[in-house]
């Protein structure tokens, strides 16, 4: 399976990118870094600059169909930039509309709020997003990980880096189930 990791060019929380990326690799799947700009993504370790990561795909219209699932890593600056980018918002929304699972951690649901993809869904996030999620028609819960099977697509959300074990385990299970239902053989 091909798993898209959508980030802005700067501000992604490093561990929220690298731990899920490793979980995808451990599952035998193909993670791809999709970014709003070419080159490298600058990650952060909270407020400190972290490593950089090579971009695999530059965000352009119509690229969601090339992937089986989407991971939205957090950090504050990353999803804040993504929710202001029309192509990024459309890309995330396309996964939901196509019935493909989406996993989002920490502040990442901001992009889904902007895509009008939380209405009627129950999810978790960093606590400061609670009001945004509720105002967008979602139900916010304070849980380590939340899997919402509302149609048309499964949404897996988590609150923070401390929840990464639960988050990775949940999205790997859900992505595998989705791939099995879809008969995905892409590698």
CATH for 166: 3.40.50.880
User: Residue written as tokens 């930039």?
Assistant: 81
Predicted confidence (pLDDT) at residue 183 exceeds the cutoff of 80: no
Per the residue annotation, which of 35, 46, 57, 107 is the catalytic one? 107
User: Is 170 within a domain?
Assistant: yes
Distances (CA, A) of 22 to 31, 49, 119: 9, 20, 30
User: Is 185 within a domain?
Assistant: no
> What's the domain range around 30?
2-176
User: Is 95 within a domain?
Assistant: yes
Predicted confidence (pLDDT) at residue 186 exceeds the cutoff of 60: no
Q: What is the pTM of this model?
A: 0.95
Instruction: Please spell the DSSP secondary structure of 24-55, one letter per residue.
Output: HHHTT-EEEEEESSSSEEEEEETTEEEEEEE-
Number of domains in the chain: 1
Q: How far apart are CA 34 and CA 54, in angstroms?
A: 10
User: Is 184 within a domain?
Assistant: no
User: What tens digit of pLDDT does each residue of 148-169 get?
Assistant: 999 999 999 999 999 999 999 9
User: Is 187 within a domain?
Assistant: no
Backbone angles phi, psi at 48, to 5 degrees: -95, 140
Q: What is the pLDDT of residue 107?
A: 98
User: Is 24 within a domain?
Assistant: yes
Q: What is the pLDDT of residue 185?
A: 45
User: Is 183 within a domain?
Assistant: no
Examine the residue annotation and report whether 149 is marked as an active-site residue of this protein: no
User: What tens digit of pLDDT does each residue of 101-149 get?
Assistant: 999 999 999 999 999 999 999 999 999 999 999 999 999 999 999 999 9
Q: How far apart are CA 81 and CA 185, in angstroms?
A: 33
Per the residue annotation, which of 46, 57, 106, 149 is the catalytic one? 106
Examine the residue annotation and report whether 168 is marked as an active-site residue of this protein: no
Tokens of 143: 């849980």
Q: Are 171 and 29 in contact (CB under 8 A)?
A: no
User: What tens digit of pLDDT does each residue of 45-85 get?
Assistant: 999 999 999 999 999 876 789 999 999 999 999 999 999 99
User: Is 110 within a domain?
Assistant: yes
């Amino acid at each position: 399976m091909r798993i898209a990791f959508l980030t802005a060019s700067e501000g992604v929380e490093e561990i929220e990118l690298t731990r899920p990326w490793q979980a995808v690799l451990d599952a035998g799947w193909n993670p791809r870094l999709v970014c709003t700009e070419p080159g490298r993504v600058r990650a952060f370790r909270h407020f400190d600059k972290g490593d950089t990561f090579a971009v695999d795909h530059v965000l352009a219209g119509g690229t969601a169909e090339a992937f089986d699932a989407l991971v939205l890593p957090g950090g504050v600056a990353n999803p804040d930039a993504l929710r202001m980018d029309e192509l990024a918002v459309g890309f995330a929304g396309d996964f939901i509309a196509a019935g493909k699972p989406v996993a989002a951690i920490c502040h990442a649901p901001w992009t889904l709020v902007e895509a009008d993809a939380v209405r009627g869904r129950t999810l978790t996030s960093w606590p400061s997003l609670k009001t945004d999620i509720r105002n967008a028609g979602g139900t916010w819960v304070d849980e380590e990980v939340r899997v919402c099977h509302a149609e048309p697509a499964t949404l897996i959300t988590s609150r923070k880096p401390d929840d990464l074990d639960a988050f990775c385990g949940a999205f790997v299970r859900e992505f595998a189930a989705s791939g099995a239902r879809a008969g995905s053989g892409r590698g």
